[in-house]
Homo-oligomer: A and B are copies of this chain.
Amino acid sequence: MTPSVLKPDPRLDLVLERDIDVPPELVWKAWTTPRHLREWFCPRPWSVTDCEIDLRPGGIFRTVMRSPEGKEFPNVGCYLEVVPVQRLVFTDTLLPGFRPSPKPFFTAVLELEPRGKGTHYRAVAIHGNEDTRKQHEDMGFHDGWGTVVTQMVEYIKASL
A interface, CB within 8 angstroms of B: 4-7, 9, 12, 54, 56-59, 78, 80-81, 89, 91, 93-102, 104-107, 109, 126-129, 132
Contact = CB atoms under 8 A, between A and B. Distances in A.
Contacts of A59: 5
A88 to B, nearest CB: 12
A109 B9 CA distance: 29
A100 B96 contact: no
A74 to B, nearest CB: 17
Q: State the majority secondary structure of interface residues on A.
A: loop
A104 B107 contact: no
Contacts of A101: 93, 128
Given A5-B57, A80-B58, A81-B58, A126 B97 contact: yes
Contact of A6 (B4, B97, B109, B129): B97
A91 B107 CA distance: 14
B5 A58 contact: yes
Nearest to A56: B5
Given A54-B5, A80-B57, A81-B57, A98 B104 contact: no
Given A5-B58, A94-B91, A102 B129 contact: yes
A25 to B, nearest CB: 24
Contacts of A98: 5-6, 80-81, 89, 91, 107, 109, 126
